[in-house]
Structure 1
């Protein structure tokens, strides 16, 4: 018999307050997009990848591909795109992000073509159960001390265990990342042995891409990662003037690239997730001395929009009761097994590694609320933009073709 909170989440799906990542009338996903791009690069598709095959045909295989990942560019930004710009004028296909709709989970899906239930990187703050610590996984540091995970004896191959489909692309594959992350543990895992061109400014990235494709006539797949919209949206909110300026700068740069390429390459633009503005009254703090910690093996991990918990055996009922008494008006608390049965992390069976990293419980909401772990005034609680949940603003992402 389903719990009251499971029934509540299912009602949110039925009412359209939340979007399921893979059931019902869900459009193609980040999984399908990843597999489509890799197939253009020579990685075979299975007989079950019809959606990926359709996307690959829409993108095309007859010329070089510039795939641009604009972090945070959810469909929520459609109305903000400048008329006449590339983002507004390109052919649009709606996709859906994975859950949690967060950079860590979505970019790992983009790299692997696997759902979070399989690849085991479910959140920005991923609990590495076997090492008994919580990592800020993409920067590859321990959450609290920000010390590199290598200092704790953790190798990248232990954190990112699922094979990268991007790294298996045949022939020419080149990436373009901000210099600060161009050789990070995650970026290196994602691209494998493919060459990379780091950039310091957006204009440098645009110039390098054009040079590689036009002047050097380099075929294959070019992957450009742009984080500036997401950075501004987190800091100031998705509707802030700074975020609009970041969006305009990206649109202008992509328009200039398209003009200079002059049809020599297909341009495909997508995103990992969207974004929500969260007001101060919608934020709750889970302090380091909270009594709920007595029931947990470790402090909450996951995301402020999708907090995850490792509850001690025998303390489940007490934790569930106290959590619901405090936050049950806005939040549904479900077990990992219930989430797996609902296929929230994907249609494939959950691996033991993913299960360990998710923990025993997670909380979901149809509101814009967040629960932030840490001291009052911490940098995460000071943000104005958040994502990772199942609302349309977080889950709906575009695929734009030019």
Structure 2
């Protein structure tokens, strides 16, 4: 399943949110969702539950809050992952435009010279000593991020409520520019902070709130594990109780997710080091995600690379990255000028529940039980809850 950028994706959701708050939207917005009353809301609250896709709602009882109020399913972006999707939520632009195409992104801007960075913490990979990074995170983001925050373009006040440990991170500072920032210490505190923002005499026109805990648990324990199930049910109960509190003065609550999840069994994890002929063709570390892998090939080694890929044939579909970009898989809009250099020569779309990773010197080869980033429906489909509270 590829993203539905014809009115059914989180990009289209953000166009509708932006237009309802008096901003200028790049696209027409959602196709099958009645948004006619959104502009009447005094405040729109967008609550993003990281990793809580449509498949994850099946972990909940039928009478749960999220299942009862979920009227629509949207798609994420490609890759279906936090770095790409959260940037879309905070800029209202697709990955093609904002250019952040996965947890790991390869940059060839001056001073970066083909290094692969984990873009959310802005840390390099493939370097024995991280102190060798010559640019500060703020400088890196200034060079590689061209798409402005959506909050700065809104005529009304905005508020961003994020975990306390990232609310003032370089990435968050840049992408929440124009909004007031508030840190939270978990779901109950986040809901309290939303209430505080809403119950002042002049509440903000738009509140964006982000909860990462399910994603963390699913990566470590599995998306369908007992721990993930218990965490999600507790969150659902808390949300259900919260919306029953006294009226918050014409507030529209929207709940969605950046992506869903599947579990990746260890026997379906491919280690690049086990395929030396393939690794020898690469011009640097892999980028993207374990489920959507971008490969930069050494000059003159394309044919060797294609032959070596035959060993992975059951596990992935191989695409020329430029063909995916031309087909609009990274979304609508004028492409980021560095998009093609970031997605490399080839994209490996991992099939079923396969994953692929490489481990660079100085990196810990940590296991991820729950995974995402690919095109499986359970990774791609996310809910949309809307109700007036």
* Higher-helix-fraction structure: 1
Counterpart secondary structure, 2:40: coil
> Which of the residues 95, 103, 107 maps onto 1:128?
107
Distance change in 2, residues 1:292/1:313 (3 Å): same
* Alpha-carbon distance in 2 for matches of 1:129, 1:152: 13
Question: In 1, Cα distance between the equivalents of 2:76 and 2:208?
Answer: 19
Tell me which residue corresponds to 2:121: 139
- TM-aligned CA deviation for residue 57 of structure 1: 2.6
Matched, 1:33 2:13: yes
- Counterpart secondary structure, 1:207: helix
Q: Which residue, out of 13, 23, 28, partners 1:43? A: 23
2:102 is the alignment partner of 1:102: no
State the match for 2:295 in structure 1.
309
Question: Secondary structure of the equivalent of 2:199?
Answer: helix
Q: Are 1:274 and 2:274 counterparts?
A: no
Q: Which residue of structure 2 lines up, in the alignment, with residue 72 of structure 1?
A: 51
1:299 aligned partner? 285
1:233 Cα deviation after fit: 0.8
Alignment of 1:323 with 2:309, yes or no, is yes
Q: Distance in 1 between matches of 2:133 and 2:22?
A: 34
Question: 1:288, 1:299 within 8 Å by CA — same for their partners in 2?
Answer: no
CA distance in 2, matches of 1:243, 1:379: 24
Please, which moves more after superposition, 226-235 or 161-170?
161-170
Q: How does 1:372-383 map to 2 (within 5 A)?
A: 372-374=357-359, 381-383=366-368
- 1:216-244 per-position Cα deviation (integer Å, ceiling 9, x unaligned): 55241111100011111111111111111
Matched ranges for 1:209-248 at <5 A: 209-214=194-199, 216=201, 218-248=203-233
Distance change >3 Å, CA 89–CA 380, structure 1 → 2:
farther
Q: CA deviation at 1:84?
A: 3.6
Structure 1 residue 351: Cα displacement: 3.4
- CA separation in 2, counterparts of 1:49 and 1:268? 18
1:77 is displaced (CA, Å) by 1.3
Find the residue that maps to 1:36 and give its secondary structure. Answer: helix
Q: What are the ranges of 5 or more consecutive residues in structure 2 without an aligned counterpart?
A: none
**Counterpart position of 1:204:** 189
CA contact (8 A) 1:332 1:364 kept: yes
User: How far off its partner does 1:178 sit?
Assistant: 0.6
Instruction: Give 1:85's aligned residue.
Output: 64
Residue 56 of structure 1: CA displacement?
A: 3.7
The structure-2 alpha-carbon separation of the partners of 1:20 and 1:225, relative to structure 1 and needing over 3 Å to count, comes to same
CA contact (8 A) 1:177 1:198 kept: yes
Moved more, 214-223 or 149-158: 149-158
Unaligned runs of 5+ in 1: 1-18
CA contact (8 A) 1:213 1:261 kept: no
Write the distance in 1 (CA, Å) between the matches of 2:89 and 2:338. 19
Q: What are the superposed Cα offsets for residues 68-93 of structure 1, whole Å, 9 maximum, x if unpaired? A: 00010110012222444321221421
CA offsets 1:309-350 (integer angstroms, 9 cap, x no match): 1112211000111122x2012212221122123322124464
Question: Closer, same or farther in 2 for the Cα pair 1:142/1:172, shift >3 Å?
Answer: same
Tell me the secondary structure at the aligned position of residue 243 of structure 1.
Answer: helix
| Aligned-pair CA distance for 1:44 | 2.1
Tell whether the 8 Å contact from 2:55 to 2:260 is kept in structure 1 after alignment: yes
Aligned counterpart in structure 2 of residue 401 of structure 1, from 378, 386, 389: 386
How do residues 326-365 of structure 1 correspond to structure 2 at under 5 angstroms?
326-348=311-333, 350-365=335-350
Q: Report SS of the residue matched to 2:338.
A: helix
Mapped to 2, the partners of 1:136 and 1:65 lie a distance apart of: 31
* Residue in structure 2 matched with residue 16 of structure 1 by the alignment: none
Across the aligned residues of Structure 1 and Structure 2, the Cα RMSD in angstroms comes to 2.6
Distance 2:283 2:89 in 1: 31
Which residue does the alignment assign to 1:8?
A: none
- Residues 312/305 of structure 1: CA separation in 2 closer, same or farther (3 Å cut): same
Alignment of 1:389 with 2:374, yes or no, is yes
SS in 2 for 1:127: strand
Taking a change above 3 Å as real, the CA distance of residues 148 and 124 of structure 1, as seen in their structure-2 partners, is farther
Deviation at 1:365, TM superposition (A): 2.8
Task: Tell me the TM-score normalized by structure 2.
Answer: 0.90
Residue 207 of structure 2 aligns to a residue whose secondary structure is: strand
Tell me by how many angstroms 1:289 deviates. Answer: 8.9
C-alpha displacement at 1:151, in angstroms?
A: 4.0
Answer yes or no: is the 8 Å Cα contact 1:36–1:52 preserved in 2.
no
| Distance in 1 separating the partners of 2:223 and 2:154 | 34
